[in-house]
Structure 1
Amino acid sequence: MPTNEKQQQVAEIKERLTGSSGLIMADYRGLTVKEMRQLRTSVRDMGAVITVYKNSLAQIAIRELDMPNMDEYLEGPTAFVFTPEDPVATAKGLLAFAKEHKVFSFKGGYIDGQLVDAEAVKAIASLPSREELIAKLMGTMLNPLRNFMAMANAPAGAFARAVQAVADQKAAA
């Protein structure tokens, strides 16, 4: 019979999984307490949450939510990083942390309904952020308008330069 505490933890895991747009799982073995505190702070600053659960409780929650089997990623100590908003920004931050701390490594993840491995998490971290993509899209959409405005203003500008040249000639004479 599962204890009340374990049932509450399974319910918490399920709530976090359903309220997140992404989950990144990582191996944190070898990090000192200070480094783990630094990781928690940086993850919190990104708007994400990092926690450590027993793998068996996570497996129960995943099964109850009818999510894909993640048993291969749930071996050994696992840090669960829940990203409520932009998984790309969180993955970028975690990748930067992993570059500084070689013992921290990705196991895999579940991002936007897709099960991904460690290499895919690293590839996601190399993508531009949502804001960058929106800015690029807006720039691309505005380019034809800018070109049209420049073309429309060209005759008026040429006429103004011609009038100015005539005025300069008459003033010099």
Structure 2
Amino acid sequence: MDRQEKRAFVAFLAEVFASTSIVIVTENKGLTVADVTELRRRIRATGSTYKVAKNRLVSRALEGTQFDGIAPLLKGPTALSWGADPAAMAKVLVEFAKTNENLVVLGGALGSQTLDASGVKALAELPSLDELRAKLVGMLNTPATRIAGAVQAPAGQLARVFGAYSKSEAA
């Protein structure tokens, strides 16, 4: 990379840090190209991004942002992940790290809150945004179902009474 490319990359990362709510740092020592490709595919499926970057350039982009607490994690071969759904992204990284010992989750930041590796794992255990939305819709839908059932129950009972009465009249 020449100086202009480095400046453009630092500006790109600074823009990312200004617009995202979470950044997770991983150590990717020993990952094969196939492993990284598979990890990127999984990360991309959550609407997130996985990027290997030079630590010095990332440190420059972090200056003055809410994520400057992750600067001490930037040692050795590291990669950054960021996205819109923190729980889904953390879940993918933690699950991939369980199956591939070459990926190590170092930590991250959720807003201005710095997370260690156990904090990222705890975040991964939370339900994703889509799961939370589905639960909320289910909770909102349940009372309507109960009301409809309660309204229909007396009508069903009346129909059974009329049916029994008509059978007794016919006999």
- Give, in whole Å, the separation in 2 of the partners of 1:69 and 1:94: 20
TM-score (norm 2): 0.87
- Could you tell me which runs of 5 or more consecutive residues in structure 2 were left unpaired when the two chains were aligned: none
Using the alignment, how far apart are the partners of 1:42 and 1:134 within structure 2?
Answer: 21
Query: Secondary structure in 2 aligned to 1:23?
Result: strand
Q: Residue 80 of structure 2 aligns to a residue in which SS?
A: strand
Residues paired across the two proteins, number: 170
What is the letter of the counterpart of residue 34 of structure 1? A
* TM-score, scaled relative to structure 1: 0.86
Q: How does 1:78-157 map to 2 (within 5 A)?
A: 78-83=78-83, 85-157=84-156
Q: Deviations for 1:54-113, whole angstroms, at most 9, x for unmatched residues?
A: 112211111133544223211211111121x21221222222211211221111112244
User: Residue 21 of structure 2 aligns with which residue?
Assistant: 21
- Worse-matched range after superposition: 59-68 or 119-128: 59-68
Give the whole-Å Cα distance in 2 for the aligned partners of 1:66 and 1:124.
19
Cα pair 2:66 2:111 within 8 Å, conserved: no
1:110, 1:116 within 8 Å by CA — same for their partners in 2?
yes
**Aligned partner letter, 1:166:** Y
1:8 paired with 2:8, answer yes
State the identity as a percent. Answer: 36
Deviates more, 1:72-81 or 1:148-157: 148-157
RMSD (Å) for aligned C-alpha atoms: 2.0
Unaligned runs of 5+ in 1: none
Paired residues of 1:25 and 1:73 also in contact (CA < 8 A): yes
